[in-house]
Amino acid sequence: MSKSKLIAGNWKMNASLEGSAALVRGVLDGLAQAQPACDVAMCAPAPYLAALQGWLAGQSAVQPGAQDVSAHASGAYTGEVSADMLRDFGVRYCIVGHSERRQYHGETDELVAAKTQRALAAGITPIVCVGETLAERDGGHTEEVVRRQLAAVIHVNGHCITEVVVAYEPVWAIGTGKTATPELAQQVHAALRAQLRAASDHADRIRLLYGGSMNAANAASLLSQPDIDGGLIGGASLKAADFLAIVAAAR
């Protein structure tokens, strides 16, 4: 079935409040000149979500997103941010299980599945990240790893798996300037699609994004692949011109 692509910017822990405001203005100005053919989201650091809600008010071209969510609904979890809190600030998308969270914060497949469940319960679309390290890739374990990561999410959320966005982000290509070839990325996306089809009769409506140094130069070739439905954009999302070029390539 036909579905619109999704380009989601992940600012990570970058920019200032002033710089973020300028970035949003630049993107909105660019989109006003050429309406996007895809859905667009900006995933900001939690302290900027209130400001992001204001910057994006009164328009529909860009949706606000968050970078993480707690696996708990509420309670004595100092420093955590619940899904209901994110919803209060108009958050439409939330990145879950980014490789940096898995690597630096010890997030397990089970925790990622629980966070996915919390986001869905709050009416927020989780962008669930899966991906292999360089050692796992060199060992020939790419599909095994991403299937395991996705299986945990399907196990807990299978009844509403069609509400999830999945992002394949090879860890070795994040922030390194290295990018999977369009053919390699498509191969992994096809494996993920097959796994989702085994879990749901409506798997073709699930958007699969590629994340891992997608930029203005390579976006078109990656986005032309049959099972790549958009991108989760890191560094290139911090420059309005670069981000807009990727959005323009998503048709």
- The catalytic residues are 98, 169
> How does residue 217 score in pLDDT terms, banded at 50, 70 and 90?
very high
Mean predicted confidence (pLDDT) in 205-229: 95
The 3-state DSSP class for residue 9 equals strand
pLDDT at 245: 97
Tens digit of pLDDT for each residue in 104-135? 999 999 999 999 999 999 999 999 999 999 89
**Do the domain assignments include residue 33?**
no
Mean predicted confidence (pLDDT) in 210-229: 95
**Do the domain assignments include residue 105?**
yes
Q: How many domains does the chain have?
A: 1
Tens digit of pLDDT for each residue in 140-198? 999 999 999 999 999 999 999 999 999 999 998 877 778 789 999 999 999 999 999 99
Backbone angles phi, psi at 173, to 5 degrees: -110, 5
- The structure tokens 């879950």 sit at 96
Backbone φ/ψ region at 104: left (φ over 0), alpha (ψ -120 to 50), beta = alpha
- In the DSSP assignment, the letter for residue 166 is E
- Residue 97 sits in a domain whose CATH number is 3.20.20.70
Structure tokens at 249: 């390539």
**Do the domain assignments include residue 19?**
no
Tens digit of pLDDT for each residue in 186-209? 999 999 999 999 999 999 999 999
Question: What residues does 208 pair with on adjacent strands?
Answer: 166
**Do the domain assignments include residue 22?**
no
Q: Are 91 and 124 in contact (CB under 8 A)?
A: yes
**Do the domain assignments include residue 216?**
yes
**Do the domain assignments include residue 43?**
no
Closest CA to 241 of 73, 25, 21, 10: 25
CA distances from 219 to 2, 11, 29, 173, 180 (A): 20, 18, 21, 14, 12
Domain span at 89: 63-71+80-236
Q: Please report the beta strands in the chain, taking only residues with DSSP state E, as ranges in sequence order.
A: 6-10, 39-44, 63-66, 93-96, 125-130, 165-168, 208-211, 230-233
pTM greater than 0.85: yes
> How does residue 1 score in pLDDT terms, banded at 50, 70 and 90?
very low
